[in-house]
Structure 1
Amino acid sequence: MKNVLLILLMFLVGTSFAQETDISVHDPVMIKEGDTYYLFCTGWGISVWSSKDMKSWKKEESIFGRKPPEWTQGVVAGFAGHMWAPDISFYDGQYYLYYSVSAFAKNTSAIGLVTNKTLDSKSPDYKWVDHGQVIQSVPYRDFWNAIDPNLIVDEDGYPWLNFGSFWGGIKMVKLVPDRDKVAEPQEWLTLAKRNRSDSLLDNNPGDGAIEAPFIFKKDTMYYLFVSWDYCCRGENSTYKVVVGRSADIKGPYYDKEGVRMDLGGGSLVIEGDKNWAGIGHNSAYTFDDKDYLVVHAYDVKDGGHSKLKILNMNWDENGWPVVDKNEINP
């Protein structure tokens, strides 16, 4: 009887902590399947969370666990499986998740793809299938960095992958309809960048801190969100989100002042304060006719830990996004 009570107590304690309302994440992206929201973010094997209400979150098994795909060893020797900045979308009966493999502070990087018929781990159809590398960046060969992917589809139904961190800024490339490789003939674009003082011929990230693109379509306009300045420094992080827009998915994207983002433009959407530092690496969604901006931010009052923030996104009279860092939804 004592053992039964002990097991029951352990179950109840475990259950009470199964749902968390204050979760630590980096680079969050989200999607909804049925009545469940799924959150994917940077972590070992790609971290996964689920929620019914965007308030209480349950930790799920990671996609790859601690064993990264074999192909990643050809990108970063000894790669241990800490994968960065995923992107999730749904197409033709499958979920497409892009993810980043990289050496730190180098453009020794690649973006891979996995697919699944469902996100419900209890379903018999639940199985992640790895499709390998989609694009790769190599130091001294490429003046861009193959991390922070985001998929967007144009008016003709063709998929485009935008991505990038530091170096020459935010790039975009057209993919084949199956979304697993670059289309031929290749079409590459620069969407946004910042000035940098470093030589164009080195493999240093430089001081033009820009990364984490996410394109969100609202009515007839495409909005390009990017993060400026520095992530991952706890309460000293200076990350902020800026935006520009275009009627053409391929740009150019202009900020509120009419400055092109590929010429250094970008209008501030949100930045840190004395309570929340380094707000950035956003994604944007419409769920049940409401728009949201999803970010991570460093909680100054909690030792600078990175936390999930889901913000209501409204629009001003000129069609620009407006968010309040204190207005957490729902």
Structure 2
Amino acid sequence: MKLKYLLILSVSIIAVSLAGCTKDEIAPTGIKTKEPGTTTDYTAPTYADDYSAIASWSDRSQWNLANVHDPSVVFDGTYYYMYSTDASYGNAHVGHGHFLARRSRDLVHWDFIGMAMSTEPAWVKDTLNNMRARVGLSPIDSPRYGFWAPVIRKVGNNYRMYYSVVVDNYIKTGKVNTADNFDGSWTEKAFIGMMETSDLSSNQWVDHGMVVCSVSDRGTDWSRSSLNDWSAYFKYNAIDPSMIVTPEGENWLIYGSWHSGIVAIQLNPDTGLPLHKFDINDESTWGTRIYTRSDGSRWQASEGPEIMYNAETGYYYLFLAYDELSVAYNTRVCRARSIRGPYYSYDGSTASGSDCFPIITHPYKFNNHSGWVGFSHCCVFKDETNNQWYYCSQARLPANTNGNAYSNAIMMGHVRKIEWTEDGWPVVLPERYAAVPQDAIAESDLTGSWEVITLNYQYKKQQTSSAMTLSLDHKATGAVTGTWSYNSTTGILTVGSLKLNVVRELDWEASPRVPTIVFTGLNGSGRSVWGKKSQS
């Protein structure tokens, strides 16, 4: 059963009739601005958050970061390339290939360059039906596929893309997954494949076939009692790949969604395929489970793993998307000294088997904007020229934004800077990256009114902002209280017991959009605390 597929499909199909809705009413004017206290002129991005008016395929040259879901980003020395899931408002992408591709020189302005895959690989259907034949099942003549969550990495001189293909047909009869067709069985397995190229600008790829597929420890007992049975036939769900080359040169694939959790399997660096032969009948070849949200459940609500290593801290960081994707999606992080774990939560406890912290994204809302929901399934990447790390994922508008009942199908790509706490945890900025000039911030720049949001976990509920004032006498009142101080050398604002990283970024909620000052940090329980200085 692929819950993600049902959610993506339902919100995108229903939005077809509204692909020409009104643009976001808070779109900026595009005039040059200058933040008070700075000397640098700056022009803010002008694209609207509600892109429904330009959602059609014929308008794809205007998309920028519109229609982004489950992105992955890599830099080739000239451009950042982004690849993402087959998902778009109104299903605009359907019939044009698979895995939306775009590129950018500055991470702000993105050009759509087409689809990375022209048609489904023949090996998927052949492999599926060969596996079905071995257990006495009839072939599926026309499988219904979903193409999800690619990850792109440079390995040697080539770029490898690991991608997910789900088969949305029932195992027993092979019928398409609908309530009317339910035959008392689970839906078929998913596959992770790999293709590579030496030149991203060519968009020409060589496919190397299957890497892994969904696996079950229940033999031929694929029975499902009802559509409300969540006991999951497959132990591991072969979607949502991430990949890493360790400092020692080992290659690892990290994957998994819901079911029994997240798996790590070692790859052959030369081929990009499993180092040891993958066998669906031999559990010892399936990899090592490195995380599950619930030990006792095969339907634990975590997915979208992203793995990275920070040489400055010496930790591997595992980013996870929690809960359903349309509204509740939120991002958690745990860390380990070894790629296979154990991974630890913010409080030092073992992460696997429970909810882990910190929370670094969550549905939220600043004033003067609808805010964002469904904000997770990230990629993480670094600008090697300055060691700046970035977070990138989709976020969705809430339903009924601008009077559009289907606005939750609007999925915008969010690129944001990552800052690091003093004890080595990543935190995400409260505003999207917009190449705002980083003029020095003085203590006097911080006095005045702020909006503050604490990312407390509440299922499907946006966290909203509250007012805080930093006064000239170093008192903080409102949402956060206590004495405040600022270290201009480290860029750390201390308010009471909170230590907050302070940078300049764009106020995306203002009209027109203008630069401001923001902060991000963690409270004692591992919840992110976001702040944005209010416009005077």
Whether the TM-score (by the shorter chain) exceeds 0.5 is yes
- CA displacement at 1:81 relative to structure 2: 5.3
Structure 2 residue 413 is matched with structure 1 residue 308: yes
Q: 1:270 aligns with which of 333, 357, 361?
A: 361
2:320·2:333 contact (CA, 8 Å) conserved in 1? yes
- CA displacement at 1:54 relative to structure 2: 1.5
- How well do the aligned residues superpose, as a CA RMSD in angstroms? 2.4
Counterpart of 1:133 in structure 2 is 210
Q: Which amino acid aligns with 1:32?
A: F
Counterpart of 1:38 in structure 2 is 81
Mapping 1:23-62, distance limit 5 Å: 23-43=66-86, 44-62=97-115
Structure 2 counterpart SS, 1:84: strand
More strand by share: 1
CA–CA distance in 2 between the matches of 1:270 and 1:313? 11
Structure 2 counterpart SS, 1:72: helix
2:108·2:433 contact (CA, 8 Å) conserved in 1? no
Structure 2 counterpart SS, 1:18: helix
Mapping 1:3-152, distance limit 5 Å: 18-43=61-86, 44-65=97-118, 67-73=119-125, 74-75=127-128, 77=140, 78-79=142-143, 82-104=146-168, 106=187, 108-121=189-202, 127-139=204-216, 140-141=218-219, 142-152=234-244
- CA displacement at 1:21 relative to structure 2: 3.5
Structure 2 counterpart SS, 1:213: strand
Q: Which amino acid aligns with 1:276?
A: W
- CA displacement at 1:46 relative to structure 2: 1.1
Q: 1:72 to 1:42 in 2, by over 3 A?
A: same
Counterpart of 1:318 in structure 2 is 423
- CA displacement at 1:156 relative to structure 2: 2.3
Q: 2:303 aligns with which of 204, 211, 220?
A: 211
- CA displacement at 1:328 relative to structure 2: 2.7
Mapping 1:192-231, distance limit 5 Å: 192-195=291-294, 206=299, 208-218=300-310, 219=312, 220-231=314-325
Structure 2 counterpart SS, 1:120: helix
**% identity of equivalent residues:** 28
- CA displacement at 1:127 relative to structure 2: 2.3
Deviates more, 1:213-222 or 1:50-59: 50-59
CA–CA distance in 1 between the matches of 2:122 and 2:60? 35
Structure 1 counterpart SS, 2:116: coil
Q: 1:210 to 1:15 in 2, by over 3 A?
A: closer
1:169-219 CA distances to partner (integer Å, 9 max, x unpaired)? 011111112243212274721111112765x5xxxxx2x111011111112
Q: 1:170 to 1:316 in 2, by over 3 A?
A: same
Q: 1:40 to 1:82 in 2, by over 3 A?
A: same
Counterpart of 1:191 in structure 2 is 290
CA–CA distance in 2 between the matches of 1:225 and 1:102? 22
How many residues were matched structurally? Answer: 301
CA–CA distance in 1 between the matches of 2:328 and 2:59? 35
Q: 2:388 aligns with which of 290, 294, 318?
A: 290
Q: Which amino acid aligns with 1:110?
A: F
| Structure 2 gaps, min length 5 | 1-56, 87-96, 130-139, 169-185, 220-233, 278-284, 366-370, 436-536
- CA displacement at 1:18 relative to structure 2: 2.7
1:104-162 CA distances to partner (integer Å, 9 max, x unpaired)? 595611100000011112xxxx5200000000114545401010001112232111100
Q: Which amino acid aligns with 1:314?
A: E
Q: 1:17 to 1:133 in 2, by over 3 A?
A: closer
1:227·1:242 contact (CA, 8 Å) conserved in 2? yes
CA–CA distance in 2 between the matches of 1:72 and 1:20? 31
Counterpart of 2:260 in structure 1 is 168
Q: Which amino acid aligns with 2:159?
A: Y
Q: 1:197 to 1:51 in 2, by over 3 A?
A: same
1:231-254 CA distances to partner (integer Å, 9 max, x unpaired)? 1x3xxx200100011111111110
Counterpart of 1:243 in structure 2 is 333
| Structure 1 gaps, min length 5 | 1-13, 201-205
CA–CA distance in 2 between the matches of 1:17 and 1:98? 25
Structure 1 counterpart SS, 2:201: coil
CA–CA distance in 1 between the matches of 2:251 and 2:416? 27
1:72·1:79 contact (CA, 8 Å) conserved in 2? no
Q: What is the TM-score with the length of structure 2 in the denominator?
A: 0.53
1:38-74 CA distances to partner (integer Å, 9 max, x unpaired)? 1100014111111122122221121222x20101113
2:102·2:110 contact (CA, 8 Å) conserved in 1? yes
- CA displacement at 1:80 relative to structure 2: 5.2
Structure 2 counterpart SS, 1:313: strand
CA–CA distance in 1 between the matches of 2:349 and 2:319? 15
Deviates more, 1:214-223 or 1:174-183: 174-183
- CA displacement at 1:20 relative to structure 2: 3.5
CA–CA distance in 1 between the matches of 2:270 and 2:243? 12
Structure 2 counterpart SS, 1:75: helix
Q: What is the TM-score with the length of structure 1 in the denominator?
A: 0.84
Q: Which amino acid aligns with 1:103?
A: V
1:259·1:265 contact (CA, 8 Å) conserved in 2? no
